[in-house]
Amino acid sequence: MFENFKKITAFFCAAVLLLGIWAVNVSAAASATIAFSNQKPSVGQKVTVSVTVNGGEAMYNATFDLSYNPDVLKYESSNITVNAGAGIVKASPAPGGKDKETYTFTFSGIAAGSATISVSGTAYGVDNDLPFGASAALTVTDAAKSDNANLKSLSLSVGKLEPSFAASRTKYNVSVANNVTECKVFAAAADAGAKVEILGKNALAVGKNTRSVVVTAPSGKQKEYSITITRAEEGEDESSSEPEKALNEAVIDGVTYTVLTDISDIALPTGFSADTTEYNGTQVAVARDKSGNYTVYFLKSADSESCILYTIPEKGNKFEKLKYAAFGDKTYIFADIPDGYTAPDGYYETEVKIGEFDVTAYAAIDSEYTDFYYVYCFYNGKFDTYRYDSAENVLQRCPEFKLVKADEKQPEKTGFLSRFSSLSANAKTVVIGMAAAFIAAVVLIVLLIVKLFGKNGIPDEDDEDVMFSGDFDNAVVSDAGVKDEEPEKEPEDAGNEEK
């Protein structure tokens, strides 16, 4: 039985040791993520690669290699000191005790193709080596010729454009007095590679005169601007010739905007297509998603080259600014959560600024990750929940964050199992290892008790007296319990033997 006891003891000791080593090794692991400023840059464009290392504990030094495809990308710079060449960037930063740090690397596209960015290295904590690694791919595309056929400016030698110039507005009216016999047109293209052609005569006849400006983009795309110049009749006041009123105008908060009638040169959100609709008795351009959830209008003010996205609610006739944000080539629309739904227990409603908008979001009540927010978005025809990392400005789909019905009582989440399920994978491993070690210790103690006291279990009072007396050294343990050992007989005196 003693041999079996030794085998069992050795087995449990080895198991506890292995569990302890495994738990320590798993807990001492870091992670890395890679993000791109543009996942599809074109040849000649620059792209920033952000590598975030999360040690899970304080990091004081780190070494890692970042590999890339030198046939597609050219290394330019970094926010840390590195050695770069032959498709590898070697870095040895000092995080200075931070548990998470981000390093940026700038590349430029030199040829079309796919490029995989891989990072592999080790961060060093106080007592642990923290290995990490990650990889991600981007695609460099051929530099496309510009489709920009807009004008940057448009003016006349005499008279004032009505309405005022905007790159998206293509029709204008001008009224001049009878004594004005000539009017020159000046125009400049927004794209330096575009060509501008001004048609029509400078000399003005009495009545209406039409001048045209044709802009040809580098890609060959053309756009025409038309100006109707009305010269007053002799003796007629120029003010009596009123310009045509623009029907595609809207006044919002005291600012006059033009509702665009042409959005062919504007990149639409994923899942949207160009369409037209009627506004104020005239046809204007809009973008609609396939499911008909959104109809987006594009508005520009006279003093801005960029357009602003608006919608008109179903139960209303006023424009409301569309809340959205672009991450790379993806555009996400921030939506209200469906009526009758709310966030699960453990989260509270708040606001977070994403881009230029304050967005309704949810955050965990008890969490070490205070930079994480959960928002409800529309992207590519689908509504879903997303997690926004405000520290790194990253938005990622998070289907595990489930909205719940507000009228349904959520189950109580208390006790050990709830707390255990909320732990990280590393913490769960440590807890399991500690539990296994505790169970092994209990088993060993039980085995020792059985071995010491035999089949009869707990010793009786006589045994206890023996154990805690000076005679314990002369006691032996048997299956029947504790008993006194008979003293050895002393050999007879040699003198008696002679007798």
Question: Domain spans of the chain?
Answer: 29-140, 151-244, 251-322, 334-405, 459-499
pLDDT at 240: 45
Q: Are the beta carbons of 308 and 372 closer than 8 angstroms?
A: no
Distance CA 63, CA 343 (A): 41
In 303-408 the beta strands, taken as DSSP E runs, fall at 308-311, 320-321, 324-327, 330-334, 341-342, 347-354, 357-364, 372-379, 382-389, 394-397, 404-405
Q: Are the beta carbons of 203 and 137 closer than 8 angstroms?
A: no
Distance CA 196, CA 151 (A): 9
**Assigned fold of 29-140:** Immunoglobulin-like (2.60.40)
The C-alpha torsion from 264 through 270 and 271 to 274, rounded to 10°, is: -10
pLDDT by residue for the chain (499 residues), tens only, comes to 556 555 555 555 555 555 555 444 444 568 899 999 888 888 888 999 999 999 888 999 999 999 999 999 999 999 999 999 889 999 999 988 898 999 999 999 999 899 999 999 999 988 888 999 999 999 998 777 788 899 988 988 888 888 888 888 899 999 999 999 999 999 999 888 899 999 999 999 999 999 999 999 988 899 999 999 999 998 765 554 444 446 788 888 878 888 998 888 888 988 899 998 888 878 889 999 988 899 999 998 877 778 899 999 877 678 999 999 999 889 999 999 888 888 888 888 888 999 889 999 998 887 677 889 999 999 999 999 999 998 889 999 998 898 898 776 445 444 565 555 545 455 567 778 788 888 888 887 887 777 766 655 445 555 545 444 555 445 454 444 445 455 555 555 544 444 4
pLDDT at 487: 53
Distance CA 76, CA 94 (A): 21
pLDDT at 415: 53
Distance CA 36, CA 474 (A): 79
167 closest CA partner among 146, 144, 148, 140: 148
Residue 262 token pair = 């042409």
CATH code for the structural domain at 151-244: 2.60.40
Beta-carbon contacts of 29 under 8 Å, excluding residues fewer than 6 positions away, are 56, 130, 131, 132, 426
Residue 443 token pair = 């088993």
Distance CA 306, CA 167 (A): 9
Handedness of CA 399, 403, 408, 409 (dihedral sign): positive
Distance CA 111, CA 142 (A): 7
3-state secondary structure of 481: strand
Query: Is-same-fold flag (29-140; 151-244)?
Result: yes
Residue 339 token pair = 């009526």
Q: What angle do CA 87, 51, 361 make, to 5 degrees?
A: 150
Element (H, E) at 51: strand 46-59
Phi, psi of 53 (to 5 degrees): -105, 125
Q: Are the beta carbons of 265 and 274 closer than 8 angstroms?
A: no
Residues comprising the chain, all counted = 499
Distance CA 19, CA 25 (A): 10
Distance CA 471, CA 70 (A): 84
Q: Are the beta carbons of 130 and 29 closer than 8 angstroms?
A: yes
Residue 64 token pair = 């890692």
* Alpha carbon distances (Å) from 182 to 154, 159, 186, 252: 17, 11, 13, 37
Whose structure tokens read 């010739």? 241
328 closest CA partner among 34, 33, 32, 41: 41
Residue 324 token pair = 């959205």
pLDDT at 496: 47
Whose structure tokens read 């740090």? 101
Whose structure tokens read 């899970």? 56
